Structure 1
Amino acid sequence: MRHHRTRGPMTDQLTAAAAGVGLEPSFQQVVSLPDGAVVGYEALARWPGMDGLGPLEVFAHAKRTCQLDALDRHCIHSAARGALDGAWRPGMLLLINCEPTTSNIDMEVTSALATAASAFDVVFEFTERGLLTNPRALLGKVASLRAHGFKIAMDDLGAHSDSLALLDIIQPEFLKLDLNLVQRQPDRVQARTIAGVIAHHERTGAVIVAEGIETEEHLEQALAYGATLGQGYRFGRPGALTHAPDAFIGPSHASIVPLADDASTFALVRDRLRPRTVRFDTLHELSRHIERLATTAESPPMVLATVQDQSKLSDATMRTYTKLARRAPLVAMFGANVPDDLGNGLRGVHLAASDPLVHEWTILVLGPDIAAGLIAREVSPPGTPQADRRFDMVITFDRSLVTLGARCLLSRLAA
């Protein structure tokens, strides 16, 4: 006799909520600091008619039941529609949360969003959930949003190391500090997060937004970290959009050059830096130096390496990268026949024989306080004895070039 598991009322409620039933946006004020003038709103997904259901539960259920794409679309449409139905002024700042790796937004389907895009300065906030789960999808989502003219905010910086490691890759126009950074004195980890955010702000001009401001002390802390926009109960509770905000002139759009599908790290830098020809032993020792820089960096960086093929993964190499993976948000190795899961937190990417990366030897280290890259292409014919192998090589500490190379590799890394 086959027994069927019955679903409880809570599961039924979660399934309905994930399908958009009962979804209503609630709008939280975004204010300028320190004067507190309202300059925009963040749309929050809420289910007021379903007691006890919060967005974290609903999104977790949607992910388990393969409804995440649909729920994300419902929330975006609801936010845009709710803003248009409320009090607003042309060009106002509207922050909309979205999942980082759901399917790209179809403006034809989401007609309310198309209308909102022409009326407001729409910014999509990437939640911290699963930022590095599927880098290829993440980069595709970023490219799609920017192609539609939207800006991007990184949410909850400081809550998870993934978001900080991706600042250079995504180039957000808004940097949102997690409330734990604002509501307490920083410890060592929080201090390096704050330093990383301030450094990125200095490099790019991204606007720092402080969340969770409830007291005068929180406001003081937010201002100390360079925040010029803020959110929190000090300025009002989320609710209906009943007050048209003041005018706000936001940051300019980040400029990110799209990469060709078959781009290689060496091809991206060879016209910007003059390659040098080196022997294998020289290349090997310089590679170890770049790896040591990753090991000693104060803020854990991501580490990406091409190894030509799986046979190059020596025991010594695996020990080095296993050690790096213990603290880094992402360590990935690319090469022919490299398995997806190398164990111990190491991710692998198999490269086809036609991929130009199989002829390259690359190590990229990118984090809040380090950018270093060794990028080389072998010029020796197959079968050359190891001591006689030659490579055209560049070493760079130019953050923009290291970021370009990292985007090239991450575009090949799927879930």
Structure 2
Amino acid sequence: MAQLVVEPSHAGEAEALRAVLDGARVRSVFQPIVALESGLVVGHEALARGPEGPFARPDELFGAARRTGQLAALDEACRRSALRSAVALGLTAPTTVFVNVEPEVLADAPLEELVAEAERAPGGVRVVLEVTERSLAARPAELLAALRRVRGLGWGVALDDVGVEATSLAFMALLRPDVVKLDLSLVQNPPHGGTAEIMHAVNAYAERYGASVLAEGIETEEHLMTARALGATLGQGWFFGRPTDEPDHGASTGVLELTRTGRDRPERSVRSPFDALPEGTTLRRATKGLLLELTYHLEREALRLGETCVVASTFQEARHLTPGTVRRYADLGRSAGFVCALGRDLPDEPAPGVRGASLSDDDPVLDEWDVVVISPHFATALLARDLGDDGPEMERTFEYALTYHRDTVVRAGEELVSRVAAVRPA
């Protein structure tokens, strides 16, 4: 991780903040999360506050951390405080505690530290970790691996700020959140052109996987009515209670049932997108010419889907990324939410707006031609394996399958996105 140099004008602020962190003076307050149907408190979100003085307000505290290069240290201190305070206040299972990870930290800090935090967490605390789509876009491989590990330790995952960026809808399928948190702007502002798109995407995901939908920013009866209309089953905001050091232990409580949407993977080992095809899938044979036409069609679908779409493709060798292909993928990079291309010797950005990944010689994906397109209401994958012909290029043959089964398509997409490394600092 690159070291941030603190400007002289911030040196005093840096020292003061370091003293706060070293002295464990960051504290946690808790805001209730309520089941809208029953009114029962099923969880609390832990929110950070600094000591009295210049760091008391969260915007001041986090602003100082950003200016002085101590955001990762503050972020970790906040989670330590949240878990420690939850135990002290009796907010243990079956109550659920929601804790945050700053997107900028996930975009830069070693994710091994996050996994280590989960391993060290005090027993009895039921945790849901909140992340945003910006974190996945910045570091796909590391974040997906880290989330798998913290889920294995019993933590749930929430996708935060849904509705702020269209790409959050694109990444829902890959992140597989147990809870989808609607941004407060959806509850507090009048409906707009994107509201219906967000509703359709979130409600389809919740219906498909049994995830919970949580509306933030509920402050009035009108906000509550809007939250219900949007499909929320959980609510949070001043209408139910402000953040406090001492949660109301007299409130009626219930249990938040997490469906563990990211933990229902089959035991069968999968090493590549082609491996993700279910056993017994009928395979066809075709020449490169037919696969090209199928690929062009999927690319056009992705252009139509726009920002809510993820595209992941393989090219075997860099030489297959022709000038015409680069132009097509530059169009996709401008239109889709996330686009990645993989192959031997591919650069980090093979086309403008496209994330690249160079595959090692022993990677089974080198033998495949894969095109995966995922959006809230569309999931298709062309998964093909090279049969090793030595003839003319356009007559090369492949065995392949076209699949529209969402779980298979998402699994194939994960196999590709999990090979894309973090964005390198400029």
User: Is TM (by shorter chain) over 0.5?
Assistant: yes
CA contact (8 A) 2:311 2:371 kept: yes
Please give the per-residue CA displacement for 1:382-408, whole angstroms capped at 9, x wherever unaligned: x42113210111111111011000110
Change in Cα spacing, 1:73 to 1:55, as seen in structure 2 (3 Å) is: same
TM-fit CA distance, 1:126:
1.4
Question: In 1, Cα distance between the equivalents of 2:278 and 2:260?
Answer: 28
Please give the per-residue CA displacement for 1:283-327, whole angstroms capped at 9, x wherever unaligned: 110110111111112653011100111111112211111111112
TM-fit CA distance, 1:166:
1.9
Match of 2:395 in 1: 388
Match of 1:251 in 2: 258
Q: TM-score under structure 2 normalisation?
A: 0.87
Match of 1:174 in 2: 179
TM-fit CA distance, 1:40:
2.0
Match of 2:4 in 1: none
**Residue identity opposite 1:293 in structure 2:** E
Match of 2:85 in 1: 82
TM-fit CA distance, 1:54:
5.2
**Residue identity opposite 2:135 in structure 1:** G
Corresponding residue SS for 2:342: strand
Question: In 2, Cα distance between the equivalents of 1:162 and 1:130?
Answer: 11
**Residue identity opposite 2:265 in structure 1:** V
Match of 1:106 in 2: 116
The 5 Å alignment of 1:27-38 reads 27-34=30-37, 36-38=39-41
The 5 Å alignment of 1:281-360 reads 281-297=289-305, 300-360=308-368
Match of 2:3 in 1: none
Question: In 1, Cα distance between the equivalents of 2:267 and 2:10?
Answer: 47
**Residue identity opposite 1:150 in structure 2:** W
Question: In 2, Cα distance between the equivalents of 1:143 and 1:63?
Answer: 28
Question: In 2, Cα distance between the equivalents of 1:45 and 1:363?
Answer: 43
Question: In 1, Cα distance between the equivalents of 2:278 and 2:68?
Answer: 46
TM-fit CA distance, 1:265:
1.0
How many pairs were matched up? 406
Match of 1:44 in 2: 47
Question: In 2, Cα distance between the equivalents of 1:74 and 1:261?
Answer: 37
Question: In 1, Cα distance between the equivalents of 2:329 and 2:140?
Answer: 19
Corresponding residue SS for 2:137: coil
**Residue identity opposite 1:317 in structure 2:** T
Equivalent in 362, 377, 387 of residue 370 of structure 2:
362
Q: TM-score under structure 1 normalisation?
A: 0.89
TM-fit CA distance, 1:349:
0.4
Question: In 2, Cα distance between the equivalents of 1:322 and 1:186?
Answer: 33
CA contact (8 A) 1:300 1:327 kept: no
Between the aligned residues of both structures, percent identity stands at 35
1:196 paired with 2:206, answer: no
1:91 paired with 2:101, answer: no
Corresponding residue SS for 1:252: coil
Please give the per-residue CA displacement for 1:88-116, whole angstroms capped at 9, x wherever unaligned: 46411211112463333225873xx222x
Match of 2:416 in 1: 409
Change in Cα spacing, 1:225 to 1:262, as seen in structure 2 (3 Å) is: closer
Moved more, 347-356 or 95-104: 95-104
RMSD: 2.7
Question: In 1, Cα distance between the equivalents of 2:72 and 2:11?
Answer: 24
CA contact (8 A) 2:10 2:67 kept: no
Moved more, 10-19 or 77-86: 10-19
1:276 paired with 2:272, answer: no
CA contact (8 A) 1:336 1:350 kept: yes
CA contact (8 A) 1:94 1:121 kept: yes
CA contact (8 A) 1:337 1:351 kept: yes
**Residue identity opposite 1:328 in structure 2:** A
Corresponding residue SS for 1:130: helix
Change in Cα spacing, 1:69 to 1:141, as seen in structure 2 (3 Å) is: farther
CA contact (8 A) 1:153 1:172 kept: yes
Question: In 1, Cα distance between the equivalents of 2:319 and 2:18?
Answer: 47
TM-fit CA distance, 1:345:
1.3
Corresponding residue SS for 2:136: coil
